[in-house]
A and B are shown apart, each in its own frame.
Chain A
Amino acid sequence: MRALCWNGVNKVEVENVPDPTILNDRDAIVQISSTAICGSDLHLVDGYVPTMKKGDVLGHEFMGEVVEVGKGVSNLEVGDRVVVPFPIACGACNACERQLFSLCENSNPNARLAEKLFGHPTAGIFGYSHLTGGFAGGQSEFARVPFADVGPIVIENGFSDEQVLFLSDIFPTGYMGAEMCDIQGGEVIAIWGAGPVGQFAAASARMLGAERVILIDRFEYRLAIAEQHTGAETLNYEEVDSVPEALKELTGGRGPDACIDAVGMESHFHGPLYAYDRMKQAARMETDRPYALREAIMSCRNGGIVSVVGVYGGFVDKFPMGALMNRGISIRTGQCHVQRYLRPLFERIENGEIDPSFVVTHRLPLDDAPKGYELFKNKEDDCLKVVLTP
């Protein structure tokens, strides 16, 4: 089959690889109808996540048709149309029982690697380095889905791929980012990053009852999409001297009640501190550039919440622990427990509360995936989200 392979830093190519087969009884094979490029794929391509190997098939946002099931899968049938969540979860361990699916204790066959880096291992993830199991990803024609009796959601009624595809990752991820803000009604929420996750976090914060949502980015086209579709106000950080100061003035001096970091380890900023972080990162003295996270903490109101859904891989520098501790700020974070959100969020789509397809700007055949990566990474041609069709 055709599949997008990681062949080194900044080098992705579509190649012929063997078709996947059933390896465990609870597997299913899915013929992929749509698959997307995620912002976190860029961290892999840019070489900031360790344990990548040449030939790794990327992609963790995909959907399609079940073409084969293992003998341990009774809830799916050949021909079912399914969306597959990006974390792989067994459904039986302590973590899964408490709905912490991205922390599944059984789905990562490389648990010892992850344990060395993170202290405790995390769940397996499709196409997302060997640290998360070394599973082939879904930017391909077919994918093997382990624990297929737990993860995939069957889509029966007539929704288009683009309306339901993002249930696999970015819609639930943005939603969880907003949910972690403990919105009771009437809050002001600030969100760093108007990429797809930031867009869904903004839309979700509004759905959950936030009174104002302020989305921060520097790309006008992204801010314009947010204004049109999410009900957020926007702040272009290149037009202000200091984001924390601007947010203070926009919130009557209090600061946002909660801040969401939807940027992660490769944040961008104009100024000497950006050069400092780039240099340290290039010299591998710090793995992650946490500029958005620093700003989120400094901006948040006293006693507020900082919710982190942007991806980090290792260690950060100049972390404002003093501000966090003395001002009683809570940090909440995690890879999204997608399985927990599939049904409730699909219901919101069914009810017409949201149509996630508003983030799609580019549709390409799988063979043009490398071009899709270029567009997305360099924000060329007003690119926000690329959907690939095998």
Chain B
Amino acid sequence: MATHSIRTRDKDSLAVFLGWFSVGLGTAQLLAPKALCKVVGASGEGTSRTLMRLMGARELTQGIGILTRPRPTNWLWARVAGDGLDLSLLGVVAARNRTKRTAFAIANVLAVTAPDVFESLHLSRKQGEPREGMRVRKAVTINRGREEVERAWANAQELRERVLEADATVSFEEAPGDRGTELAVEFTEQPPAGDLGKTALKLSGRDFATQLADDLRRFKQLVETGEVVRSDSTPDGHLLAGHLKQRPAQPLEEVVR
């Protein structure tokens, strides 16, 4: 099953990575400020603890901003500014008490400042309306002539309706070398709350791309073999969501056909 995503948006994988990095670090700072103070060589009491929490809230906000916005240029620059703030705070800690831990923390902040600046400059060069979403293409080859596949598709009413609802386009093409028919479905993936929503849907197996991949596989099985193949561990046939909670591979007690 081919999944081909064409990036039609401004944000690239580095920006997404930095967004998740912010979310992770910010959450840790908010929930375990004392431990993180220790990591960077600060006292972990009073002001430094409060400051750690504040910085955590800042990180988390930036992360969510980066992940949810289609072109988060300002949020990336906010990360650069945040790096500066972190470095000055660590400088204060180092001035009071020189430890290897603080030096290590400074080195780490410097290491992440470089991609922050790089990505901020990259996004700053983008012009015009920010572009959102990904163009996703799912394709499957069915070992039957084009007419037969088109006829079967016309009969697969439920699947056709779902594809229509998602505003997807369907194409049929003869596969090279007499290998049947390539059925391709293309749609624009635009989940609520940007990359945050996308990840949530993916994890629950409820994103359209995953469901479509399952549907196309089952459609191919039906056209080629006349049935959706069932096994003891996966009695309902192919479904990615079902993969996560499989039965053992031994015959079923109760069979629902």
The yes or no verdict on A and B being binding partners is yes
| B231 and A135 form a contact (CB under 8 A) | yes
Task: Give a binary string over B228-257; 1 marks a CB under 8 Å from any A CB, 0 the rest.
Answer: 111111110110100100111111110101
| A110 and B231 form a contact (CB under 8 A) | yes
Judge if A177 is at the interface, Cβ distance under 8 Å.
Answer: no
Q: Is the interface of A mostly helix, strand, loop or mixed?
A: loop
Judge if A390 is at the interface, Cβ distance under 8 Å.
Answer: no
Judge if A11 is at the interface, Cβ distance under 8 Å.
Answer: no
B78 to A: closest C-beta gap in Å: 36
| A112 and B227 form a contact (CB under 8 A) | no
User: In the complex, which residues of chain B have a beta carbon less than 8 angstroms from the beta carbon of A343?
Assistant: none
A158 to B: closest C-beta gap in Å: 32
User: In the complex, which residues of chain B have a beta carbon less than 8 angstroms from the beta carbon of A181?
Assistant: none
* Chain B residues with a Cβ closer than 8 Å to the other chain, count: 36
> A133 to B221, alpha carbons, bound, how many Å?
14
Which residues 260-309 of A sit at the B interface, judged by CB distance below 8 A? none
Judge if A364 is at the interface, Cβ distance under 8 Å.
Answer: no
B134 to A: closest C-beta gap in Å: 20
Specify which of B228, B229, B237, B255 is in contact with A21 (CB 8 Å cutoff).
B255
* Chain A residues with a Cβ closer than 8 Å to the other chain, count: 43
Judge if A56 is at the interface, Cβ distance under 8 Å.
Answer: yes
| B249 and A109 form a contact (CB under 8 A) | no
User: In the complex, which residues of chain A have a beta carbon less than 8 angstroms from the beta carbon of B143?
Assistant: 92-94, 97
| A56 and B1 form a contact (CB under 8 A) | no
Interface stretch of the complex, out of A23-31, A182-190, A216-224, A251-259: A23-31
> A311 to B228, alpha carbons, bound, how many Å?
29
With contacts A23-B230, A72-B227, A144-B251 taken as known, whether A130 is within 8 angstroms of B246 at the C-beta atoms is yes
Residue of A nearest to B140 (CB): A105
| A124 and B253 form a contact (CB under 8 A) | no
Judge if B213 is at the interface, Cβ distance under 8 Å.
Answer: yes
Report which A residues bind B (CB closer than 8 A).
3, 5, 17-21, 23-26, 53-57, 72, 90, 92-94, 97, 105-113, 115, 124, 127, 130, 133-137, 144, 146-147
6 closest Cβ contacts across the A-B interface?
A134-B233, A55-B248, A20-B251, A109-B234, A56-B249, A134-B249
